[in-house]
Amino acid sequence: MRLLKQIKRDWIAHGRHWTKPGFLAVACLRFGQWRMTIKPKLLRMPFSLIYKLWFIRCRNVYGIELPYSVKLGQNVVFEHQGNIVIHGDVEIGDGCIIRQGCTLGNKNLDKPYDAPKLGNKVNVGAGAIILGAVVIGDNVQIGANSVVTKDIDANTTVIGIPAKCINSYNERNSCAKYTR
């Protein structure tokens, strides 16, 4: 998909407000990914400078650290600004919502590339922390200030430190692995 079409979709997902910090951070990520498609490094350099300045502004002014290397799905919304840190190897599925104060990153310095993989329509509450190479299923609700360090099945709600399952819509009781 071309850059402008993708940015328009992100703009619509963010409520058609071009001034929202979440939209600007996602647009910066899309621009950063697009600039990497320019093969001659000499032609890419001015775009890389623009990206770097834009990224620094998003990180320092809006508090959203979203590197271009993140695999970001369609219609992902960063609901609020402030203290959002996303590891460069994170994968975020379609239709996810990330709120303020969230961290998605690695948990061991020995494994710097271990990063979370979020499924589609994951709702991450304010202040939630997701650490390590965990896989979060589709339609998962992660409560505010929860700390997730284990895989979460689809259609599940988790809360707490560490995150514990409080509700599961699966046919089998997937909450059992969280209560041990």
Q: Which domain holds residue 32?
A: 1-68
Do 86 and 120 lie in a common domain? yes
Last residue of a domain, one of 51, 68, 85: 68
Say how many C-beta atoms besides its own lie within 10 A of residue 172's C-beta: 8
Q: How many domains does the chain have?
A: 2
Say how many C-beta atoms besides its own lie within 10 A of residue 108's C-beta: 10
Q: What is the CATH number of the domain that holds 150?
A: 2.160.10.10
Last residue of a domain, one of 16, 35, 68: 68
List Cβ<8 Å contacts ≥24 apart for 54-61: 54/28, 55/28, 58/21, 58/24, 58/25, 58/28, 61/21
pLDDT at 1: 60
pLDDT at 109: 86
Last residue of a domain, one of 68, 100, 116: 68
pLDDT tens, the chain, 180 aa long: 699 999 999 999 999 999 999 999 999 999 999 999 999 999 999 999 999 999 999 999 999 999 999 999 999 999 988 999 999 999 999 999 999 999 999 988 898 899 999 999 999 999 999 999 999 999 999 999 999 999 999 999 999 999 898 876 655 555 655 554
Do 112 and 23 lie in a common domain? no
